[in-house]
């Protein structure tokens, strides 16, 4: 029986079952969102690069977050299955780890302000950033290698709008227990682990803020953390709903919509939150506008 089965080398993405008119409308909306994502994250990267006042560890990690959001949104475009899945998994993992590094930066800045420049020097920041990228790509590469070893005998249709790994695994005709085990381990390492450390960091931060005597000091400390906390809450909340809720065939369409929301709107969240809620970024933007007016 197994010897007569033909191997599948291509998959068909089912996407959403919509009318042609609605598809055209959504195509226009998603194109605008993708363009706005490139412009917004590009603006944040440009401000951080050209404004010396933003050359600090916090904005160093924020620039990496902007790059990840650009790459993640763009990783849905390639056609090759392995490349596409590797990029999606990699950028998602790296973003979790970068958010963890940013929480550590905020912890040091508020709980150890006098030692901040010594602890968070550029060497430490560079090592943290390189470690985040290396770990993210290594974990994703393991998942893709384990996937490519599986036989696929049919059907060809992936019930998703991109090559999401759990949807592809459903089409395998071999034993996928090892893949599921590594997926669970990745979820614990990339989602539960960083989120737990972030919560511990913010508990320490909150305790340190409550000890500050002046209202102005408390307000400033809260403002430096609020943007990062908003991004963390939205990102980890949505990812845990998508990946850690038990799989159910009746909820596949709902999960696809959640995944679409995560893919399109999450890359827009970082520049919006950090530009609206962050006084330093807004001040840098105003300085750039004033320079253009004087020129």
**Domain range annotation of the chain:** 29-242+250-282
pLDDT of residue 198: 92
Which H helix or E strand runs over 13? strand 12-13
When the pLDDT of each residue in the chain is averaged and rounded to a whole number, the result is: 80
In Å, what is the CA distance from 157 to each residue of 9, 15, 163, 232?
Answer: 12, 10, 11, 34
Q: Is the preceding peptide bond at 155 cis, omega within 30 degrees of 0?
A: yes
CA dihedral 132, 137, 140, 145 (to 10 degrees): -150
Q: What confidence score (pLDDT) does residue 170 get?
A: 83
Tokens of 116: 């901040």
| Six-digit token string for 171 | 């089409």
293, pLDDT greater than 70: no
Helical segments of 149-278, H only:
165-169, 177-187, 193-210, 215-244, 252-276
Cα separation, 154 vs 139, in Å, equals: 27
Give dist(CA 133, CA 87) in Å, integer: 12
Q: Is the pLDDT of residue 5 over 60?
A: no
The residue that leads in pLDDT, 286 or 203, is 203
Q: Taking residues 50-77, what's their average pLDDT?
A: 83
Contacts of 102 (CB under 8 A, 6+ apart): 58, 61, 62, 65, 228
With contact defined as beta carbons under 8 Å apart, do 162 and 84 qualify? yes
Name the strand (E) or helix (H) holding 51.
Answer: none
- The predicted pLDDT at position 78 comes to 41
Assigned superfamily of 29-242+250-282: Rhodopsin 7-helix transmembrane proteins (1.20.1070.10)
Of 17 and 61, which is predicted with more confidence?
A: 61
Residue 134: what pLDDT? Answer: 94
Check pLDDT > 70 for residue 180: yes
Half-sphere exposure of 275 (CA within 13 A, CB side): 19
The residues, ordered by sequence, that sit 6+ positions from 160 with a Cβ below 8 Å of its Cβ are 13, 14, 15, 167, 256, 259
Q: Which of 13-17, 23-27, 64-68 has the lowest mean pLDDT?
A: 13-17
Considering the chain, what percentage of its residues have pLDDT values greater than 70?
82
3-class SS of residue 172: strand
d(CA 1, CA 159): 26
DSSP 153-167: -S--EESSSS--HHH
4-18, 138-152, 191-205, 253-267, range with the lowest pLDDT: 4-18
What is the average pLDDT across 73-86?
56
> Of the spans 66-75, 161-170, 197-206, 276-285, which averages the highest pLDDT?
197-206
> Among residues of the chain, what percentage have pLDDT more than 90?
15
Write down the pLDDT at residue 264: 75
Apex CA 95: angle with CA 92 and CA 99, to 5°?
Answer: 145
Which two tokens mark 250?
């009746």
Tell how strand 12-13 and strand 157-158 pair up: parallel
């Amino acid at each position: 029986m197994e010897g007569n089965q033909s191997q599948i080398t291509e998959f068909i993405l089912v996407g959403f079952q919509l009318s042609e008119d609605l598809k055209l409308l959504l195509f226009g909306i998603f194109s605008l969102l993708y363009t706005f994502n490139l412009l917004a994250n590009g603006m944040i990267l440009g401000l951080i690069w050209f404004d010396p006042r933003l050359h600090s560890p916090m904005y160093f990690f924020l620039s990496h977050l902007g790059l990840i959001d650009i790459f993640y949104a763009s990783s849905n475009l390639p056609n090759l299955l392995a490349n596409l899945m590797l990029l999606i998994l990699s950028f998602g993992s790296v973003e979790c780890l970068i958010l963890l590094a940013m929480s550590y930066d905020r912890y040091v800045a508020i709980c150890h302000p006098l030692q901040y420049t010594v602890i968070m020097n550029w060497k430490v920041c560079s090592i943290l950033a390189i470690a985040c990228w290396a770990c993210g790509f290594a974990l994703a590469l393991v998942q893709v290698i384990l996937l490519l070893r599986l036989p696929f005998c049919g059907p060809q249709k992936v019930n998703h709008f991109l090559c999401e790994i759990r949807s592809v695994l459903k089409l395998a005709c071999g034993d996928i227990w090892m893949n599921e085990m590594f997926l669970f381990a990745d979820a614990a390492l990339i989602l539960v682990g960083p989120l737990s450390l972030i919560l511990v960091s913010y508990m320490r931060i909150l305790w340190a803020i409550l000890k500050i005597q002046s209202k102005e000091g408390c307000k400033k400390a809260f403002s430096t953390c609020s943007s990062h906390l908003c991004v963390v809450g939205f990102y980890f909340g949505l990812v845990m709903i998508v990946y850690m809720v038990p799989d159910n065939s009746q909820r596949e369409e709902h999960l696809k919509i959640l995944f679409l929301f995560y893919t399109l709107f999450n890359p827009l969240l970082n520049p919006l939150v950090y530009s609206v809620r962050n006084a330093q970024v807004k001040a840098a933007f105003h300085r750039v506008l004033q320079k253009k007016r004087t020129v």
